[in-house]
Structure formats: C-alpha cells, structure tokens
Amino acid sequence: MTSNERWLIAGLGNPGPWFAGTRHNVGFSVVEHLAGRAGVRFRLRGPRCRLAEIGVADRSVLLAKPLWTINQSGPPVAGLMRSHAVPETRLLVVQDDLDFPFGVVRLKRAGGPGGHNGVRSVSDAVGTRDYLRLRVGVGRPAKGQKMGRFVLGQFTPAEAEQFPELLDRCVTAVDNLIEHGLDKAQTALHTL
C-alpha cells in the first residue's frame, strides 16, 4: 500500500454467536465480507473490538467490529480513530437502517442518527456527526411486531437468499468510496 490515507470502517452489530445473521448485525456482516474477500481474519484488539486490515486502492483500511453492545459502539470506534490517527473524514460506519426496504444501500456524509442508538453512540464518542455512513436497508417490522424483536431477528428465507448479493453491493460501494470519493460512489450506488 503506497498511500498514507488510512481508513476505518466500523461495522455496527452485537457481539456473540446468537446475534450472527440478524438484521441489527448487518454492519458486522459487511466488514466480515470485506475481510473474507481479502483473505484476512479479525484479531482481538483488547477487550473492546476485533480488528482486521485490508488494502483498497493502495490505501490501508482497518475493519472494526466493536465488542460492546451495538448501542455502545462509540467508545471503541473513537479509541481506534485516536490510536490509528484516522480523521472523521475517513471514518465509515456501516449500519442497518429501518428507513429503507431490505436490500436498499445508501452512502451519506453526516446527519442525525435516525433513531439508531449505535450511530448516536459513535457521534457522541467521536464528537461529530460529520463522518460517512453506509446505510443498509433491513425494512420495517410488520404491524404489531416489536422493533427489538424485528432487528434482533433473522432474515426471512427470501431475504437470506438475496443477502450475499446485498453484501457484494455493499463491498462495491466501499471500494468506489475509497477509490473514487463520495460523489462518484453515491452516483454509482444510487443508480443501480
């Protein structure tokens, strides 16, 4: 890697095998997919997160899975930014998003948490909302279904079948963001 532009991609999720494959763990799934594509594994970095490092477009990219609950993801992310000298302009938070139907993926910079407590925690710990977000649509619960049960639930069989293609689109969006910048990455992603 020739560039000194180090990036940090923090996938939001809950630690533990019982949360694997749930809607709320889409962020973990995306960073795991990025690591798997590069053939690298996550390693424990203290008690606060698992970390892997890959290269994208000659840039070093740290992939993080905070090991606190999703709603307390901020302190580990802020700690990684400090210890690896990553500015907020090169922080990408990958999150599940209830405001989009399953399969919709959007890139944005800044903005409020939209009801996502993990994003709120990151904003509070980092001290700004001016960072990048990859919002992965997981849909909304059916009428009468509790929100917590929905986000901590598994995908439907139809969604699970489409999930690998969704992860591929997220990885392509990350590649485009790092190589070409936000505007071009948004154009490519939002015209799919």
- Tell me the catalytic residues: 24
Does residue 102 sit in helix, strand or coil?
A: coil
Distance linking the first and last C-alpha atoms of the chain: 30
How large is the C-alpha radius of gyration of the chain? 15
Is 66 buried (19+), middle (13-18) or exposed (0-12) by CB count in 10 A? buried
- Alpha-carbon distance of 48 to 102, in angstroms, equals 30
CA dist 134 and 10 (Å) reads 10
What are the strands of the beta sheet with 43-45, ordered from one edge? 43-45, 49-56, 59-66, 7-11, 91-97, 132-137, 105-109
